[in-house]
Structure 1
Amino acid sequence: MKLNLAVREIYDDRYVADKDILIRDDLAEKLGINNLDRIKLKVREGGTLTLTAKVTINQELNDGNHGFVNGHVFSRIYRESNFSAPETVTVGCDPEIFLFLKGKRNKAMTFSYLSNIYHRECGGGEEIGMDGAGFIGEFRPKPSLDPAEMTDNLKSLIFKADNIKKMAFTKGWFQSKALMLGSGEWNDWSIGGFSWFIKKPAGFHIHFGLPGKALRNREYIYQIVFALDYFLGIPCISVDREVARRSKQEGIYWSGRYGQPASHEISTITLEYRVPGAFLLRERVLSEGIITLGKLVVEDFLTRTKTAKPKWEEVESINSRRVYGLPDRGDICKELVNAKPKKLGIYMDDIRTKLEKMEMWHKYKNAITSFLDSCSNEYPSPDIVENWRKNENQERNMELCRPASHS
């Protein structure tokens, strides 16, 4: 039987042996593949390669109809030594959230109340869960090639979490705790987007699916992150008023630490950029804007690399500062840590001009322009449920007011 199964490289060879292919459980079920089944794949030099299917529930391996193999196997199936850049980059995110008492800046409950109910009572998966510290919640929407679809996935989780909150209060599941903090009424509590709240930092991390060889090349990743610091980090901070997430963290020589300039992590298949704060979750225009802007920058960097240095062994000479004409790295770092949002305006015109020259600007310009224009808007409330519902109603009204087309 011929399988509709594509293959991607997993960057860390420890995760998969030479004779194995990792397949997500839902994809395996869809394709009728069982754990330890033998799968034959055509290889570049001719003939076939037989691999053993290892069915996994690993959430990171959620990328369409793809199985995952290590670099050695992948090179036999596909790759010559030439640079191979995807035409488009998968994006994901995992913004962090608080369950807070509206009108009280220092009142919050652990989000585990809601995430536990979601898993226990609703049979939910890991898309609504907890961050590593155990107090702050986290949304993990399904990744997508389309930033708008990615944002729709995020929206559905926001509204789903609000419905769980209403159900929990109606059933009185943590009424006593809520009363102790000030109110037992469900509508007095909401899901909040804060970059800094009750002395806790929270982020809006964005994930980019990249080729395995890129993820293994630390200098190359560093150059992508440098470009993201300028094109994405500065606009994010110009709208994020909660500067304490940076200034209350480590000292001035922090580069790469949580939430600071160059803050990132590399997983088996993605680059996770960790500079944006959860303030950016407050409105759809902000969330969709940063997801789209990040995707544009990463895709543009990959495209420029492919044009300038077609062989992988040469990519370390790719320099973001030279490619884009960026300011000194030290200056960008100081601005990302110390500058107040309004002081960053000196960079915004240059950022917009450079973005408009990127090859895929025309494809992504609407969401990015709306985001950049919103950087000077009034301070949005932290109640993300209320804000996103308001955004949805405004979009619906605009649709109703739009004149009907005539054929």
Structure 2
Amino acid sequence: MRDDNQKEYLEEPLKMLRKKVLPKLPPHVQNKVNHEVERLEDLFVDTRAPRFAIVGRRGAGKSTLVNAIFQAPVADIGTVTAETEHASWHTYKNATEEAVMEVLDTRGFGEGDRRRFQTSEEDAWNEALKTRYPDAILFLVKAKEVDARVSEDIEQLKKLREKVSEMHDYLPPVIGVVTQVDELDPAYDSDPPFGEEKLTHITQAKEHLQHMLGEQLSDVAGIFPVCAYTAFKDGEMVYDRRWKIEELIDFLLDQLPETTWMQWARITQAKTIQARIAKTMGKSASAIAGGVGAQPIPLADLPFITGIQLSMIAGIAYVSGRKLDRKGLTEFLGAIGANVGTAFAFRQIARSLGKFTLPVAGHAISGTLAATATWGLCKAAILYYIEKRPAHEAKQAYESRSEPPEAP
């Protein structure tokens, strides 16, 4: 995600705000606004791919889980091939190649004869971790194997985590994933939602893994039993037996740095995640608009509040899976009744701020009104882009003028 439209609609308003407005704000307001600008910069400017170490024995379902997260057969066709002997980073991309996830693939978990490898396990990790580290570690165990030499695997997991901490001064969270729960008894109950007997066995498997991990790790982030089975034909999903995958990916959002959130939203295509990130953008943008709008800065509040509003709308459009372009943003603004045009004053400050005039910014005579109007735009954009609701519903949300919640 790095192109001219991203720079124009997401980055430039923030850069101009930092350069032209922040220095003129009173210190107490400047600190608050700067905090929210930094948050949006994490989301818009410093965005990068989420990185995971997905570890477990052969057959634990690593590729199946990756495909379930992407809802596409990316694990079969989207990897960077590497030799098994070396721990290596695999890159997975969505269909448009705009959303990327990196996965550290390690050997040693349940491998048979390790004597065939010339490179030691620790040396392999050292090489892979030289340049980057995983944001989180997913420890995969088949539901039927939660009591099969798991302690040995957890010991290796600890060593990998400690190696990351040693090399990067970062201790990644560990999430236990009980895979292939559909294979537990009773065999005839293979399709979710599962019956009571199957759910009892799933709970037992989860609790056992939780106990085993807890004996050696005091800070396991969470344990998730899942079924990740999907089937694809010509790149399209034709069979979907996923269970609890959405809960897992929603939980993972909280384990990831905000710099990865935009990519994670496009990878997972999960509306819950898209909406959560959109609301985060809206809270920060509203706080910025409120802070700037309340200050007596001649000729500054109109273009910069408008720029932040436009940046927020573009960000919400992007996490929903839409491309960033003038046509799409114009359609949205027209749908909710905003005036679309050019403004000479905007062009004097930044080219990107000169393409749209939102009437709400022109009336930003108080911080409260500026914040309220910005939050209305956020709600409208969520309905229009993420919920795919009709334009008249988005317009109603825009006009409702409810006050924004406190910024995070």
TM-score in same-fold range (> 0.5): no
Higher strand fraction: Structure 1 or Structure 2?
A: 1
Higher helix fraction: Structure 1 or Structure 2?
A: 2
**What TM-score results when the alignment is normalised by the length of structure 2?**
0.30
**What TM-score results when the alignment is normalised by the length of structure 1?**
0.30
Structure with bigger gyration radius? 2
